[in-house]
Amino acid sequence: MKLLSISSLGIHNAGASGAQELGFTLSSLVYYLRALEERGLTPETVVPATRVTLGLGRDMFAEIAKARALRTLWSRVLELCGVASELQTVHLHGVCSSTTQSRRDPWVNMLRSTSEAFAGTVAGVDTLTVLPFDRSLGAPSSLGYRMTGNLQLLLSEEAHLGRVADPAGGSWFIEELTKALCESAWAFFQSIEAEGGVVKALSSGYIATEVAKVVAKRKTAISRRKEAVVGVSEFPENNELLQRPKHKSCPKSTVNATPKVDATLSADSDHRYQSTVTCLEAQHSFESVFKARRGEDLVEMRVLESFRWADDWEALRANSDRALKEAGRRPQVFLAKIGELRNHKARAAFAERFVLAGGFEASGEFGHLELSKCLDEYKSASKGEAMGVVLCGSDKDYLQSVEEWAAAFAAIKPSFIALAGRGGENEARWRSAGVSHFIHMGCDGIHILSDLQKSVGA
């Protein structure tokens, strides 16, 4: 049991970087030390009774470095506060990230949790929370809960990770990563303090703005598949979403019997306590509960929106599920494979995985040397309904055939014509022949697949 808990889960689950998470934690520490010192509690009294909670994300080495960096930074802050070195230790609690969990193919979440728990354990967290793999689907199953316990037992009793102090110590890569993270986290901590401290930085929106910049970069990388979400953006299974019962809500009598109040916490401690309890019972938002009044100043916090790596890709799959429910079939695409198998195989496989991630069903079994036979297969597969086309072949085949094939398909009016590969210097000519999109490594997958879904009416 700890008197004071400093948690960075809110900012972590909003998509913050490791440096931002650490900087926020340090600034929170300084805020609490100042506030408690005003009330007669010295840092030497507060620090031993403090626990820090960190999120454990998807990059295993970065998460190891983050937990190690926290200890270094924590000691530095306390050293500047005049706290003796023997009191500078911190109880560190690690929580496997909810941002990495996917609703599609949730079994992969077990692998993600394993990596996150491994990183936390190697980094030396004192306590660990592993989230059930099916938590994102609703109420976790008994299997989900059992696996969280089994995972910790495997790491402790079979991998023996708890028997070595700082096993990552001495690794040049991790030491350098830790050092770099310390420097960037300290810079963010200083920028928060320059804003007037963590409360003012939250209320002004400074922290939310800085986190939003990181999230924007991450979303771009996710959309371009530079950051893969296995089972969602890469190697997807085109199945319907598994469902679990939703989490049980509070009894209606509790909610209905409690009046909705303004979440304003007065300077009077008793009233502040009662207001907080009332807000919690009424299931008010965290933002509402976190508002505080000091004297006559009302402090309002800008909401940190939650972030999940799989969100945008899973939204495409949700559109596909709706189309299946309403029209009886998912959005359709035909892979027009030009030439021999050895020439089109790689790009056809890439294109199939790409469209499957967007909720499409792909058809087109054979490669064709003759355009007329490919057109016949397309007509047989489409059966007169909305269907797109993706041309798949080698660069050599493209130079010889794309304009002819695109024009021939354009004449029978498919929903769209895309090409698996880059247009390069030929892009303008191929677009004039009817090619609307180019699918390749690094393309904006979310944007392109959204367009293609609209083209087929999904």
State pLDDT tens for residues 150-194.
Answer: 999 999 999 998 888 888 989 999 999 999 999 999 999 999 999
Model confidence band, residue 277 (pLDDT cutoffs 50, 70, 90): low
- The answer to whether residues 19 and 188 touch, using CB atoms and an 8 Å cutoff, is yes
Residue 43: predicted pLDDT? 92
CA dist., res. 230 & res. 240, Å (int): 17
Q: Are 216 and 113 in contact (CB under 8 A)?
A: no
CA distance 117 to 156: 11
SS3 content of the chain, % helix, strand, coil (to 5): 55, 10, 35
For position 279, what pLDDT does the model report? 57
pLDDT at 3: 83
- Which range is least confidently modeled, 207-211, 259-263, 338-342, 405-409? 259-263
User: Quick check: 354 and 448 in contact, CB under 8 A?
Assistant: no
- SS3 letters across 19-65: HHHHHHHHHHHHHHHHHHHHCCCCHHHHHHHEEEEEEECCCHHHHHH
Give the residue-averaged pLDDT of 328-337.
93
Model confidence band, residue 304 (pLDDT cutoffs 50, 70, 90): confident
Domain 4-223 and domain 311-455 have a common topology: no
| DSSP class per residue in 240-298 | PPP--PPPPPPPHHHHHHSPP------SSHHHHHHHHHHHHHTT--HHHHH-EEETTEE
Q: What is the pLDDT of residue 293?
A: 37
Domain range summary for the chain, segments of one domain joined by +: 4-223, 252-299, 311-455
Give the pLDDT confidence score for residue 261 in this predicted structure.
38
Identify the CATH assignment for 4-223 out of 3.40.50.300, 3.20.20.240, 1.10.357.10, 2.40.50.140: 3.20.20.240
Rounded (10°) angle between helices 445-455 and 206-223:
70
- Mean local confidence (pLDDT), 77-93: 93
Token readout for 241 is: 């979403």
Residue 283 has pLDDT above 90, yes or no: no
How much is the mean pLDDT over the chain? 87
**Whole-number pLDDT of residue 260:** 39
315-337 average pLDDT score: 93
On whether the 311-455 domain is CATH 3.40.50.280, my answer is: yes
Q: Output 293 or 3, whichever has higher pLDDT.
A: 3
Q: Tell me the average pLDDT across 280-309.
A: 60
Q: What are the beta bridge partners of residue 5?
A: 51
The confidence score (pLDDT) of residue 367 equals: 85
Residue 444's pLDDT is 96
pLDDT tens across 381-400, in order? 988 888 999 999 999 999 99
